Amino acid sequence: MLKTMPRPTRPKEVVSVSDSYRLDGVNVEAGDDFSSLVAKAAAVTHGNCPYLEVLDLTRGNFRGPRPFRVRGLPLDQVLFDAGPDGVGTKVLMHDALLLHRNAPRDLLAMTCGDITRFGGLPAAFWNVLDVRNLGDPGSDSFNLFADMLGGLVEAANEQGLVIHKGETAELGPCIGSDNPNPSAPFNWAGVAFGIFLQDKIIYGDRVQPGDTVIALRENGFRSNGISSVRKAFAMHYGKDYYGPDAHADLLAAATPSVLYDRFLATTNGWYEGDLQPLVDVRLIAHITGGGIGKFVELLAPTGLSARLDDLFELPPIMRKCADWRGMTDEEVYTTWNGGQGVIAVISPDDTTRFLKMAARFGIEAKTCGEIIKSPNTTVQVESMYRGDVLTFNHHQR
C-alpha cells in the first residue's frame, strides 16, 4: 500500500499582538509615543500654580504616579471642586481648518470658567482626548494632535494651570464628523480641579442697587450653541459647508475662546500674599450655554434686577449666522453669548480699577449696565442685534 505523503504547509507568519491591534485600528506604538510626549509637555506646567506641589514619583516611567499636594493655604478654609466640560461640536470646525492648536482654549474656557465664576482658582487640569486614529508618529494627523498639545501647554502657562494627567484613546468609527473629508477628527473633554477658600466664594449675596455691571468682550461663539452655528452654515452654504466657499466664515466661527480666568483669579486676591481681593467683585456670570440666562439665574436669589443697555456688539460672524437662520433678538441672546463671555457685578467704588486691570490682561471690558430694584427679578437687555428691548426673568429658564 502506498503511503500518502503529508501535504507541505506554508510557515505561518508570526503576527505580534501590537500588529494585530494595528489591523484592528489601534496603533499601540503611536499611543505610547503620544503619551510619552504628553507627559514631557505636561511636566513644563507643574510649577504653574503656587499652591500645588507636584511630586514626580514615576521612577522614569511616564505612566507612573505624579501625585500633588496643596501648600501655602489655610487648611481649615481650603475646599476643592471640579469643573467638567468639553469642546463640543466645535471640534469639527477646528479639524476642518487644521487649527487643532486652537481647541485647548475652548476646552479650558468651558471648564475653568465654572471655577472662577464662584471665586475659585483653577489649579490643575485633566483631559480625555478621543481620536479616530493618531496616525504613525510624524504623520500629518499625529503632528496635528501634537500641535494641539502644544497649544494646551501654552494656554496653561498663560493661565497659571498645572496640566496634571490625561487619557488618549483611538476610537475609530466612534469619532464621526459631518465633514465629508475630515483630517484628524477628535472629541475632547476635561475636568478643571479648583481650589476655593470658604470666605472667598462669590455667591452674589452682596449685590446691591447701584452696583455696576461690566461685560468682558468675547470675539466668537466660545463652545456653546455650535450646533445652531453649524445649522446656520448648512442653511446658507448647503450641505458641504466645510468647502472653500465658506472658509473665511468658518474661520471666524472657529475663533478660540477668550480666557478670563487668570484675570478674575487675580482680582479675587489669589496671587496676593494676604489672599485679600483687589477688587470687590460681587457676582460673576460665565455666559455659556443658555446665554444671558446664566446672569439671570445667578441674580435671581438677590431679589434685585439689572438693566443692560450698553452691551458689546455681536461678533460679525454671529450676526451673519443669526441672519442666515432668521433668529429673533431673544433667540440670539439665549443661544449664544451676544459678544460677552463674562458679565460681572462690581462695587461702584472699584469699577475703574476693575476696568484698568482687565486692560492690563489684554481683556476688553466696559460698563454695560447697573443693578436696580424692581418688584420681581428681571434683566432688561437692549439688544445689539435688531435693537429690541428684551426682558428676561428667572422663571423663563
Burial label, 239 (beta-carbon count in 10 A; 0-12, 13-18, 19+):
exposed
- Of the options 3.20.20.70, 3.90.650.10, 3.30.365.10, 1.10.1060.10, the CATH number for the domain spanning 203-397: 3.90.650.10
CATH topology (fold) of 26-201: 60s Ribosomal Protein L30; Chain: A; (3.30.1330)
**What is the side-by-side strand order in the sheet with 162-170?**
78-86, 186-197, 121-131, 162-170
Residue 241: how many CA atoms within 13 Å on its side-chain side?
A: 20
Burial label, 67 (beta-carbon count in 10 A; 0-12, 13-18, 19+):
exposed
- Quote the pLDDT of residue 22: 56
Q: What is the pLDDT of residues 209-247, one digit of tens each?
A: 999 999 999 999 999 999 999 999 999 999 889 989 999
224 vs 110: CA distance, rounded Å: 9
List, in order, residues 6 or more apart from 198 with CB less than 8 Å away. 77, 79
Residue 172: how many CA atoms within 13 Å on its side-chain side?
A: 8
- Quote the pLDDT of residue 374: 86
- Quote the pLDDT of residue 346: 98
Task: Map out the domains of the chain as residue ranges.
Answer: 26-201, 203-397
- Quote the pLDDT of residue 7: 43
Residues of the chain with pLDDT under 70: 1-28, 395-397
- Quote the pLDDT of residue 20: 53
Is residue 116 classed as helix, strand or coil in its secondary structure?
A: helix
Give me the sign of the Cα torsion angle 52, 57, 60, 61. Answer: negative
Nearest Cα to Cα of residue 168 among 194, 149, 193: 149
Given this chain, do its domains 26-201 and 203-397 carry the same CATH topology? no
How many other C-beta atoms can be found within 10 angstroms of the C-beta atom of residue 14?
6
323 vs 42: CA distance, rounded Å: 43
Grid cell, residue 142, equals 499625529
- Quote the pLDDT of residue 108: 98
**What are the DSSP E strand ranges found in the chain?**
52-54, 68-70, 78-86, 121-131, 162-170, 186-197, 212-217, 281-286, 305-308, 340-346, 365-372, 378-382, 389-393
Grid cell, residue 81, equals 471642586
- Quote the pLDDT of residue 28: 67
How many other C-beta atoms can be found within 10 angstroms of the C-beta atom of residue 264?
31
Amino acid at position 321, single letter: C
327 vs 321: CA distance, rounded Å: 9
198 vs 296: CA distance, rounded Å: 24
- Quote the pLDDT of residue 91: 97
Q: What is the pLDDT of residues 114-144, one digit of tens each?
A: 999 999 999 999 999 999 999 999 999 999 9
Longest dimension (CA), the chain: 113
